[in-house]
Structure 1
Amino acid sequence: MRVAFVGKGGSGKTTLSALFSRRLARSGAQVLAIDGDINQHLAEALAPDADGSEAPPLGAHLTELKDFLRGTNPRIPSAEAMIKTTPPGHGSRLLRLLGDDEVHARHVRRVGGVPLMVTGEFGESDLGVACYHSKLGAVELYLGHLVDGPGEYVVVDMTAGADAFASGLFARFDLTFLVTEPTLRGVSVYRQYRDHAREFGIRIAVIGNKVTGEDDLLFLKEHVGDDLLTHLDHSPWVRSAEQGRAEPDLEALEPQNLSALTIMREAVDAHPKDWPALHRHAVDFHLRNARAWADAATGRNLVGQVDPDFVPGPAALN
């Protein structure tokens, strides 16, 4: 299952992405965390004392990624003809989660016991000439060519605010967790997400965070309603961890917060993956991009990259 964490900057989405990923990994589940935020802090959240070494970022190797994924697909003659929304078809190379392939071998490292991929930072050379979504295109292509199975999880820490809806990446997930503080600004971001998500049939679940008492919880229930899945209390353990002082064992987290992580996993597991819907969204956003800018930018009719006979999901591996 693919899970996104979104929310207002400072809401705690990166911290919750890390906690959720660590809890999954501790349970023995196969999990991959991906840092898709312009502020690359997921590695630090997974392990504050991690060394500075890292695998090469996906965003810096987009051409190589395209070349690998297009495989022998006759509809994609070159990496230059492939854009971030190009869907797989017959001949494309499909990926299994943490499989034995060059993408995972090159771009994954373990941090805090969790396999991690990063998109890469927005560097000085990008200023004024590129947007961060050009780097996120690598994550979009990765998820578009991934065939994940039962008991496998991809957890993506997304960009903050409604900017997460600026590309088709937001439609690549089975469930999106919207992390919301009990404040007016926090719930205003929730309303933006809710409206965008409803337009495209995207499933969201709200996670209240930094709750300090019954008044905070009642505030969230009043403004979020049935979309509120669970909440986490303000956590001294998390604050200590961020200061490098906490007991490293995640089971030392406060009981309410451990319970919330369990509820979140149950929510993910409760819904079977809808391969046709994921592929339908992928094709829809590809056609939108082709007509809006990509046909003109590449000088090609990219509508022709859609393989009408391609069946997404496990069947495609055969």
Structure 2
Amino acid sequence: MLVVGAGPAGLEATHSLGKRGYKVTLAEARGEAGGRVTRESALPNLNAWARVRDYRLGQIAPMPNVDLYLESELTADQVREFSADHVAIATGSRWRRDCVGRAVRAPLPGANADTSFSPDDIMDGKRPPKGHVVVFDDDHYYMGSMMADLLVEEGYKVTLATPAATVASWSVYTLEQGHIEKRLIGLGVEILTRHRVKDVGNGIVTMVNDLTGEQVDRSGTLVPVTMRLPNDSLYDALNSEPEKLEAAGIKSVRRIGDCYGPATIAAAVYEGHRYARELDVEIDRDKVQFKTVKYDLELGG
């Protein structure tokens, strides 16, 4: 069994497969396991998230049937040479830099590596020129406010624009929205709700108010937080030549976690766990895949 990628999905798949008795090799391209958990736990006040990684590494470490290899980026040829019965591709996802998301439906002209920094760029240590930064949050969860928080703490002047009526609007469901907005206000972040980015270039980020049509210009660099794309090139390369998979003795290749569909960390962990539980098990896809409990209610006295 080969798992490619030691992020939340890959770690959980390896952990659960190891407990089931499979011989598992986990290969990670970076020098540290954890994937997005490791990167995001370095953001302001998110250090506790590292427990998602640390717990699973602690469980895997004593397993004699599990091997973890860091700095081991694999090509399609190398995966086939490994000749594992099953391959799980858990190579994660990447944030878009071109502003495409809910509000902006086509790549924004001018949004390139010189004018636009993705959250991945920021988490990799890259920084815009010192001055003004516009964070465009069309993700509506925590990443937009995290980018604003991090950059303002580093001395940038930050404007956070969002097409929603409130900052981090989805976090209403996690009871965090008020805390997030209060912190941003306290940090001095300029907040522009109901605004979407229209143009970026010549050192100017142009936004438009979706209600009034009023245009707002801010000098500086753009940090779009809109949507993520799966890192599925390895999966595509493997499946483009099915005859080579068969010759290598590989029975299945599956994407799991953000490589299959970018979502929350919890969803990625669940995908890894489900993959491990369902491997080599006959599943009736027409039935709900969880147990139901029947309760007999005794009415009356």
TM-score (norm 2): 0.31
Normalized per residue, which structure has more strand?
A: 2
Q: Relative contact order (C-alpha < 8 Å, sep 6+): which is higher?
A: 1
* Higher Cα Rg, which structure: 2
